Structure 1
Amino acid sequence: MASERGVAPATDPHFLAECGSTQASAPDGDVAGLHAGLTQLRAFIAQRDAQLGARLPPERELCDTLGVSRAELRKALAILESEGQLWRHVGKGTFFGERPSEEVDDLAGLAQRANPHEVMRARMLFEPMIASEAAINATAADVDEMTLCLSRSREAQTWRQYETWDNRLHRALARATQNTLLIGMFDTLNAVRRAVVWGRLRATGPVPGTEHHSFAEHDRIVAAVQDRDADGASRGMRQHLQSVSAKLRDIGKG
């Protein structure tokens, strides 16, 4: 999860966009209160280092723990939910990770039957096309989101934080297709990937090194999207996934 160090200040346009407000339209106290709530919640999640699917404490307990109001907490929860870091189920609570796909009833069974090789093969077939479509359809806001993910992934202090921003970047590419069906298909594949691959083959270490292959590969993909280079984006994603596949094979041999 994103660390407290990676929280955008209240004057950061990315932060204001997440809040759905601007300094001109929101009182200073409201922005400051929301920033405090978001900062405290991000720090709480980073410290917990919770597993995907784990449930957060009830809102009343979180308010007491974080020292924020119920309104500030709910706004902060909404922002993290929009980022795909949390999801909420009425009557059941708030959970870490992305909302499970409602379109696939047997997602857990599918994850149990699939293996890492099948997941990587599916990604190799699907995600280069996603990158290509993103290059054709991405908006300026989509590119800004991808650029933010690139920056924050380099600031990650743990592998879990890196994976959070890596996942958010890949989903930003899917969202940039502007195709609801493709986004849903990506979410399904991504949910299985996280259950199958990272459940069995998880990289360890305090933080990805500056030489980590994904940084330069992600840069090339986003640059191609920004340049409307569909072939370059597709090629960059394919090369990136080949690197990921090779790394997973090495981990599996360890």
Structure 2
Amino acid sequence: MPELTERMGASALQDTLSRDLRADRWRPGERLPTERDLGARYGVARNTVRRALDALEQQGLIHRHVGRGTFRAEPPPAAPAAMEESLSPSDVVECRLIFEPEMISLAVARADQADIARMGECLRGTDEAADLATFERWDAALHDAFAAGTHNGAVIAMSRSLARVRERTDWGQLKARGNTAEHRAVLQAQHHAMVEAVRRRDRAEARRVMREHILFVQDYMFGD
């Protein structure tokens, strides 16, 4: 992301932070850097940062607490997802096979250090998960971190729409079929390889491993 100069002022800083917030650089409820840190990062004075944050708060994108800091606001409740309820898990996996290899390729090109740190956090969560529900939650969060790393609102929205199918009972039953130590080890090796490819900015490898990963999931969820 390009550095801002003081001449660009509060309006330019507001636009830049607004894009980052809408692209989920910071997750809902996550604390943003301090005004001093934001000023240093973007090369502007603290009063410029304060004016930009004032405008973002009025838009409902952030909220501030005296003595605690500035936080990403929770998004408004989503509209009922009737279409997502009608999608079969097998159709969703096929769509992911088409979509997610290119998604992670774009993340390789655009993810910043904060995005990569979030991927690492999700990876640790999957490593340490003691049960399937916890593993699935961190697994979904890792794929969401890949989507957020694209900094493309349409990609993020599409990824989250597909991910909501993971919350259904039928999906959980199918995933439980493959909840073995051997399958978990393969999934984790693939997760680590994908995050490492993002860190190394290797688009071809990230695309290859993501495709291999989804084919593996497809095989144990729907294979004989």
Q: TM-score range by the shorter chain?
A: 0.5 to 0.7
Counterpart pick for 1:113 among 83, 86, 98: 86
Deviation string, structure 1 residues 200-254 (Cα, Å, up to 9, x no partner): 424179995695211100111111111111111111100000111111125xx5x
> Could you say which residue in structure 2 is the equivalent of 1:246?
219
The answer on 1:151 being equivalent to 2:124 is: yes
- One-letter code aligned to 2:149: A
- Asked if the contact 2:165/2:171 (under 8 Å) is kept, the reply is no
CA distance in 2, matches of 1:132, 1:201: 28
The separation in 2 between residues aligned to 1:206 and 1:242, in whole angstroms, is: 16
Matched, 1:187 2:160: yes
Distance across 1 between alignment mates of 2:183 and 2:95: 28
Query: In the TM superposition, what is the alpha-carbon distance from 1:195 to its structure 2 partner?
Result: 2.8
- Alpha carbon RMSD of aligned pairs, Å? 3.4
Counting only pairs closer than 5 Å after superposition, residues 122-137 of structure 1 correspond to structure 2 as: 122-137=95-110
Q: Normalization by structure 2: what TM-score?
A: 0.62
Deviation at 1:19, TM superposition (A): 3.9
Change (3 A) 1:222 1:197: farther
Q: Runs of 4+ in structure 1 displaced over 4 angstroms?
A: 204-211
One-letter amino acid of the structure 1 residue matched with residue 104 of structure 2: A
Superposed, 1:1-254 pairs within 5 Å as: 18-20=30-32, 100=78, 102=79, 107-108=81-82, 110-195=83-168, 198-203=171-176, 212-250=185-223
Note closer, same or farther for the CA distance 1:222–1:88 as it changes in structure 2 (3 Å cut): closer
CA contact (8 A) 1:131 1:233 kept: yes
**Which residues of structure 2 form unaligned runs of 5+?**
1-28, 38-64
Structure 1: how far apart are the matches of 2:218 and 2:135? Answer: 17
State the alpha-carbon separation in 2 of the partners of residues 205 and 177 from structure 1. Answer: 30
The sequence identity of aligned pairs, in percent, is 31
Give the partner amino acid of 1:244: V
CA distance in 2, matches of 1:20, 1:248: 39
Letter in 2 for 1:119: V
What is the Cα deviation at residue 139 of structure 1?
0.3
Cα distance in 1 for partners of 2:178, 2:165 equals: 24
Larger radius of gyration: 2
Structure 1 residues 201-210 or 152-161, which shifts more? Answer: 201-210
Q: For each residue in 1:35-59, what CA deviation from the matched residue of structure 2 results, as whole angstroms up to 9, or x when unmatched?
A: xxxxxxxxxxxxxxxxxxxxxxxxx
Deviation at 1:136, TM superposition (A): 0.5
When normalised by structure 1's length, the TM-score is: 0.55
Question: Is contact 1:224–1:232 with CA below 8 Å preserved after alignment?
Answer: yes
SS at match of 1:234: helix
